[in-house]
Amino acid sequence: MSNIETVVPRTTFKRSSGVLLHPTSLPSQFGIGDLGKAAYEFIDFLEQSGQVWWQILPLAPTGYEHSPYTMNFSAFAGNPLLIDLERLMKEGLLRQEELKPLPNKDRVDFDQVVPYKTQLLELAYSRFKPDTLFEQFAQEQAYWLDDFALFMALLEAHEGEPWTKWETPIARRDPDAIREQKEKLQTKIQFYKFSQFKFFQQWSALRDYAHGNNISIIGDVSIYVCHNSSDVWANPELFKLDPETLEPAFIAGVPPDYFSETGQLWGNPVYDWPRSQETNFDWWIKRFQATLQYVDVVRVDHFRGFEAYWQVPAGETTAMNGEWVKAPGVEFFETLKEKLGTLPIMAEDLGIITPEVEELRDRFEFPGMRILMFAFDGDPNNVHLPTHYVPNSIVYPGTHDNDTAIGWWGKASDQEKQNVLRYLGHDSAEEISEIIHWQMIHTAMASAASLAIIPLQDILGLDHTARMNDPSQNAGNWRWRYLSSEMLTPELSKQLLELTEQTNRIAT
């Protein structure tokens, strides 16, 4: 028997709970959630409700369809759409009359929000005088910020055309061409650095407020990055690209799974892991270090990709005709541990999980995820049934990829509903249809998992229209938001607090 197999994972988290909510889903006057007043009010709600964790999705700036996982322009940068415009006004960079509220809708209208906030950020930059704090930020973050700011300036200069369509010397980063573009686009480059400075300045203040209220933040590292990103443009050798066109030679995804009969084809290039090994995983180490500058724990999305990943030849229209390729997970996490000292990591271990993936997870004592919505297929050995939970795990009623509890219940088969009723000790679906979200929340909170994370949509009792992402659909995701902080009522806070106390999840 190997050493890996004999490891008994310790419990990473004290018994506690928290709420899943991406900042774009917060209320605001400007069409999208931001790092302003509502974010602070949300932290107040968490503290008053006995919660000690706020889980977010990746904070990266997003492109096509605004997925924070697959379509972002940088794995290091923050999303400028989250910048609080009212704080810029208080700093004298904007004026009250320039801040015209957008219609308050429960869906982000990116076609309206992006140009609106961009022109106001540009206006704020035109009044900004670089100071010592800005210069310090630019120097400390130069290892990613310089490439990102230049990439975004070039992307704008090329009217959004992907970098592989740019002039060859720029696409292939000829030093003379890069030097020329830096001089030519200096003002735009500084604007993008300013936007990042303001984003991280505001996020740092919000995180400090969270810590002051005993709230820690769980962030997210999506394993893959977008091909049309500063990451791939600046580090093409780390990815499997066609040497002639620099387009992806293989595309990332997963074979048929819970969410799709033809699998999921994400569109991202896959990594050339041997090249990363040659650099002692330098880019990856910097990525985790950067993430831990603004969150407390990292959820590693698609964790199984560090053991083996599914690659599909470029040009395929589904993910079915791919193959599993081994990845150097043990070597990578050993190296990461040497650099960081500790590994505040939780593993998204959903989908096709093999014993090798479980061994990798348990070797480093990473807690895995359990999803109640996957539990009631009638299989008594289903790992998502609370009966099988170990303390070193995180339970969710559903994640950002699932429907809300009420939406899920409305579409569940009769057999699945009967399985739920038997498990919960109820006689009829009518008995619990109105309270199924609280039934799921209670089941998660009462389980043996040391950490329970509840989507805010379920606490609010919202239906399928509040779903954040449907992986079987490419368009229209990532847009849900709640309309007012008044929805976080004292009564709701009291109900959540009492349940947290009853299930012994008040962190001490």
Q: What is the pLDDT of residues 87-123, one digit of tens each?
A: 999 999 999 999 999 999 999 999 999 999 999 999 9
Please tell me the distance from the alpha carbon of residue 87 to that of residue 351, in angstroms, as a whole number: 42
468-480 confidence digits (pLDDT tens) = 999 888 899 999 9
pLDDT of res. 45: 98
Residues pairing with 264 in the sheet: 254
Burial of 22 (0-12, 13-18, 19+ CB in 10 A): buried
- The number of angstroms, rounded, from the C-alpha of 45 to the middle of its chain's C-alpha atoms is 21
**Cα 430 to Cα 89, 409, 418, distances in angstroms:** 51, 11, 12
* Strand-pair partners of 241: 248
Supply the mean pLDDT for the chain: 95
User: What pLDDT sits at residue 1?
Assistant: 28
Structural tokens at position 339: 């650099």
Q: What is the pLDDT of residues 239-274, one digit of tens each?
A: 999 999 999 999 999 998 766 888 888 889 999 999
Concatenated DSSP letters of 94-138: S-GGG-PPPP--SB--HHHHHHHHHHHHHHHHHT----HHHHHHH
Task: Tell me which residues are annotated as active site.
Answer: 301, 348, 401
Q: pLDDT at position 471, please?
A: 85
DSSP 292: T
Question: In this predicted model, what pLDDT tens digit does every residue of 365-411 receive, in sequence order?
Answer: 999 999 999 999 999 999 999 999 999 999 999 999 999 999 999 99
Q: Is the pLDDT of residue 484 over 50?
A: yes
Helix or strand or coil: residue 245?
coil
Q: Contact, 489 vs 41, CB < 8 A? A: no
Look up the CATH number of domain 19-222+470-508. 3.20.20.80
User: Does pLDDT of 346 surpass 60?
Assistant: yes
Q: How confident is the model at residue 302, as a pLDDT? A: 94
Per-residue pLDDT at 2 exceeds 50: no
What is d(CA 309, CA 356) in angstroms, rounded to the nearest whole number? 12
For the chain, where do the domains classified as CATH 3.20.20.80 start and end?
19-222+470-508
* Tens of pLDDT, residues 196-215: 999 999 999 999 999 999 99
Question: Is the model's pLDDT at 4 over the cut of 50?
Answer: no
pLDDT at 274: 98
Mean pLDDT of 31-46: 98
- Residue 29 and residue 104 in contact, taking contact as beta carbons nearer than 8 Å: yes
Instruction: Quote the Cα angle for 281-283-286, to 5°.
Output: 105
- pLDDT score of 352: 81
Can you tell me the distance from the alpha carbon of 98 to that of 85, in angstroms, rounded to the nearest whole number? 10
